[in-house]
Amino acid sequence: MSSNYMEVYFYMDEPGLVPERPVLLQLANGDVVESAPPIWGVDIKCGKGTDFSYGPWADRQRDHLFRFFFPPNYKNLEVTPQPKPGDRRQMQSFDIRLSTLNEATIDILFTKNKETNAVHINIGAGSYLEVTLPWIVLQDGYTTKITGQLLHLEATTSLQYRSLAESETLEYTVKCHYPLVWNHHQCWQLSLTGCKATTHLVYTHVDFFQDLVNDWASKSRPDILHFVPYTWKISLLLKECEVVTVSNQYNWIDCSSTNQENNHVAFCGDLLDVSFDLPFIDFLPDIIPLKIWIQGEAVDMSLYLPEVNTSRLLLLSIDKNMKLVSNRTKASKWRRKCVKSQGWVDCWSVPIVALSVRYNY
């Protein structure tokens, strides 16, 4: 991380003694609650010129440092006992908050065949990251939480076709649950919620992100003595979104920075929900079953032909002069890219659509 200006604020309560009876507080709205436990954490604010760089190599260094200072003991966790009256009150978590006061950039770097690839993200002022590290162990273990929001996000890749995503807001939540027994099943959850988002998809993105996952995966040989089963639960929710694809003949793509001559097919909707699980519960399994659920609401399919396409004027003329009888008035929808004034034509509409995909990897 690099920044021209940074503020670091560290705070820590001095724990008092546990009273004989719970201390009750009355809020402004009249609710009566127990007093909060002691808190401690750090608040970091970054100013102009802030750049975050991360990736598989940096994550491996983080893992090496964590294992050096906190080596795993491969023992079962013990539930933290509740303090008794007269004992010192306990800190329950350590809170970290990182926020940006101005625009910032995020670079996710990885390599393939000694060639550096990157996902470059621009974010607006007010974006933040919050990390909650538990300091006590409950009956079912403990859960590490990461939450945050990115404002005015613009993401590009190092591919020749650079466009990837734009979003007014992107909220993210990561929850990592660890049970009491060190090698019992762990559940990791990732939730992404975007609002007014435009996503560009081409098939090359599949190989691009597969290379990112392969570089991020562990380089050590599998060892059954250290194997821990876990499941990733991933959910992507887009509100008022556009998914733009390229539909050129013979699958060529114009990657010019301006005046691209690509044909596009886009799917626009009020809601797009994509959820799936990645189960890694067996040691070196022969087959990993995957189930993907995709659901969209108020979905329209739009078509765009560039000015050099000989069918463009014919398509626009048909769209302008056609007469449709509809039983309901079509409400105006949010659009960023797929607007009629730019030559886009709506050719299909459905109130709700769902797709279930099962795949054995």
Q: What does the DSSP assignment read for 125-158? A: TT-EEEEEEE-S-BTTBEEEEEEEEEEEEEEEES
Task: Please list, residue by residue across 308-328, b when 16 or more beta carbons sit within 10 angstroms of its beta carbon and e when fewer do.
Answer: eeeebeebeeeeeeeeeeeee
Residue 25: predicted pLDDT: 80
Is residue 272 very low, low, confident or very high in pLDDT (cuts 50, 70, 90)? very high
pTM: 0.89
Query: 170 near 190, Cβ under 8 Å?
Result: no
Does residue 281 have a pLDDT over 70? yes
Residue 21: predicted pLDDT: 82
CB atoms under 10 Å from CB of 338, counted, come to: 25
Measure the CA–CA gap between 280 and 283, rounded to whole angstroms: 8
Mean pLDDT in residue range 263-292: 93
Count of residues for the chain?
361
Is residue 320 very low, low, confident or very high in pLDDT (cuts 50, 70, 90)? confident
Residue 25 structure tokens: 């507080």
Is residue 50 very low, low, confident or very high in pLDDT (cuts 50, 70, 90)? very high
Does residue 48 have a pLDDT over 80? yes
Is residue 331 very low, low, confident or very high in pLDDT (cuts 50, 70, 90)? low
Query: 127 near 171, Cβ under 8 Å?
Result: no
Residue 48 structure tokens: 């102009």
Residue 326: predicted pLDDT: 59
Residue 252 structure tokens: 């060529």
Q: Looking at the DSSP assignment, which residues form a beta bridge with residue 147?
A: 130, 173
Residue 330: predicted pLDDT: 61
DSSP secondary structure letter of residue 361: -
Residue 239: predicted pLDDT: 94
Is residue 223 very low, low, confident or very high in pLDDT (cuts 50, 70, 90)? confident
CB atoms under 10 Å from CB of 360, counted, come to: 8
Distances from the Cα of 285 to the Cα of 13, 234, 290, angstroms: 48, 21, 13
Measure the CA–CA gap between 3 and 5, rounded to whole angstroms: 5
% residues pLDDT > 70 (the chain):
98
Mean pLDDT in residue range 53-66: 91
Express each pLDDT in 130-184 by its tens digit.
Answer: 999 999 999 999 999 999 999 999 999 999 999 999 999 999 999 999 999 999 9
% residues pLDDT > 90 (the chain):
68
Does residue 72 have a pLDDT over 90? no
Mean pLDDT in residue range 7-29: 87
Residue 290: predicted pLDDT: 92
Instruction: Spell out the domain ranges in the chain.
Output: 1-182+194-221, 229-251+261-322+337-361
Is residue 258 very low, low, confident or very high in pLDDT (cuts 50, 70, 90)? confident
Burial of 240 (0-12, 13-18, 19+ CB in 10 A): buried
C-beta pairs of 280-285 under 8 Å, 24+ apart in sequence: 280/229, 280/230, 280/231, 280/232, 281/185, 281/229, 281/230, 281/231, 282/229, 283/222, 283/224, 283/227, 284/222
